[in-house]
Amino acid sequence: MSAMKIINDVHARGGTVVSFKSVCGGLPAPEAADNPLKYKFSWSPRGVILASQNAARYRWNNEVIDIPGTKLMQSATPFTDSWPEMILECLPNRDSLKYECIYGIDETQTLFRGTLRYEGFCSLMSVFQRMGLFESSKSFGPTWQVALDAMRKKQGNFASIDDFLLHCADGDQNQATAAKEALHWLEIEGAAKVANTDSVVDSLCAVLEEKLQFGETERDMVAMHTSIQATFDDCFSELHQSRMLAFGDSKMSAMCRTVGIPAAAAANLILSGGLKNYAGLVLPTEKSTYLPILAAVEKEGIMFEESVNKWYSNNG
């Protein structure tokens, strides 16, 4: 909705959207990112793991980029557009191209939607994936020592777990060391019992669910950043940036607020007759829907910081 507000304004003034980039992440607040993954689960760990294996597609400078699910975690790049103090990274989020029709920006040269994580999350998940920890096959043994040995032998009979981790880290010693330290912190080693022998991934999820829970006094965070560049016929250009940072509190998580309050505002709009000219499933891409909903959520403390940089690019 916040993106459509900017896009429709650009189009109303005769502009062309040449770049659209929007990223969002549900994360622990910085003070709660106190584990090797710098992540905690407010929903199913299995859902996060499945999402980390989705293929992705986006357009960048008129080139369509396809990322297979097996390479998704390796495609993460540093995110430096906002909040540099948090040291974030970004990975592509599924098929961005379907949004060119939804947003009405089929003219754009760059169209990217991404997911935010703290730096280091994706490299660890990539190593875990290559080890075989995301597999749905039956667990390899009653303890993690037996299971890891089986994974090591299955993928090349490496002489040691260190050699195996180095292989799974594509020869990056820093990544391999970080993965070993993460496995130790998670107690995925030695005589620790495998919680679910039905599948490797379910065993991993049981560990993550136990180790990466939010504490009673810890906060989650939702971070969203959108960057939209537009050009106009008089060689005038604009870069719009919109960002939103929300934190949970003792009453409600940030994810609950940022998902639930807009839905409640939309329900209230329907009940008050604000959508009487519509029928069926309606996307909030028109002013008559997104303006009152955005106004309602702002009253609840969910608001966007917006900025615009303008310049002329006439070389004549």
pLDDT tens by residue, 273-303: 888 777 788 889 999 999 999 999 999 999 9
What is the rounded distance in angstroms from the CA atom of residue 216 to the CA atom of residue 280? 41
- Furthest-apart CA pair in the chain: how many Å? 73
pLDDT score recorded for residue 54: 93
**Position 145 pLDDT exceeds 60:** yes
DSSP symbol at 214: P
**Position 33 pLDDT exceeds 60:** yes
Tokens 């940030």 label which residue?
254
pLDDT score recorded for residue 314: 66
**Position 115 pLDDT exceeds 90:** yes
Which run of H or E residues covers position 5? helix 2-12
Average pLDDT over residues 17-32: 97
Going along the chain, which residue ranges are E strands? Answer: 16-28, 56-60, 63-67, 77-79, 88-92, 110-118, 220-231, 236-247, 305-312
Tokens 């089986």 label which residue?
150
pLDDT score recorded for residue 315: 52
CATH of 2-122+215-312, one of 3.30.360.10, 3.40.50.300, 3.30.1490.20, 3.30.70.660: 3.30.360.10
Structure-model confidence comparison of residues 135 and 57, the more confident one? 57
Percentage of residues in the chain having pLDDT higher than 70: 98
Q: What global pTM score does this model have?
A: 0.92
**Position 142 pLDDT exceeds 70:** yes
| CATH 1.10.1870.10, the chain: domain bounds | 123-211
User: Which segment of 34-38, 143-147, 197-201 scores lowest on mean pLDDT?
Assistant: 197-201
What is the rounded distance in angstroms from the CA atom of residue 128 to the CA atom of residue 199? 15
Long-range contacts of 261-264 (CB under 8 A, 24+ apart): 261/296, 261/297, 261/300, 261/302, 262/1, 262/293, 262/297, 262/302
Dihedral angle computed from the Cα positions of residues 62, 22, 291 and 300, in that order, rounded to the nearest 10 degrees? 180
What would the pLDDT profile of 65-105 be if each residue is shown by its tens digit?
999 999 999 999 999 999 999 999 999 999 999 999 999 99
What is the rounded distance in angstroms from the CA atom of residue 208 to the CA atom of residue 198? 16
**Position 173 pLDDT exceeds 60:** yes
The sign of the dihedral angle between the CA atoms of 76, 81, 83, 85 is: positive
**Position 164 pLDDT exceeds 60:** yes
* DSSP class per residue in 89-149: EEEE-SBGGGHHHHHT-TT-SEEEEEEEEETTHHHHHHHHHHHTTT--SPPS-SBHHHHHH
pLDDT score recorded for residue 48: 85
Percentage of residues in the chain having pLDDT higher than 90: 77
pLDDT score recorded for residue 41: 86
What would the pLDDT profile of 175-234 be if each residue is shown by its tens digit?
999 999 999 999 999 898 887 667 889 899 999 999 999 998 999 999 999 999 999 998
Q: Identify which of 24-38, 45-59, 136-150 has the greatest average pLDDT.
A: 24-38
Which residues on adjacent β-strands are paired with residue 88? 79, 118
Mean pLDDT of the chain: 92
pLDDT score recorded for residue 161: 92
**Position 316 pLDDT exceeds 50:** no
What is the rounded distance in angstroms from the CA atom of residue 299 to the CA atom of residue 66? 40
CATH of 123-211, one of 1.20.1270.360, 3.40.50.720, 3.40.1390.10, 1.10.1870.10: 1.10.1870.10
Angle (CA) 206-208-212 rounded to 5° is: 135
Average pLDDT over residues 227-255: 94
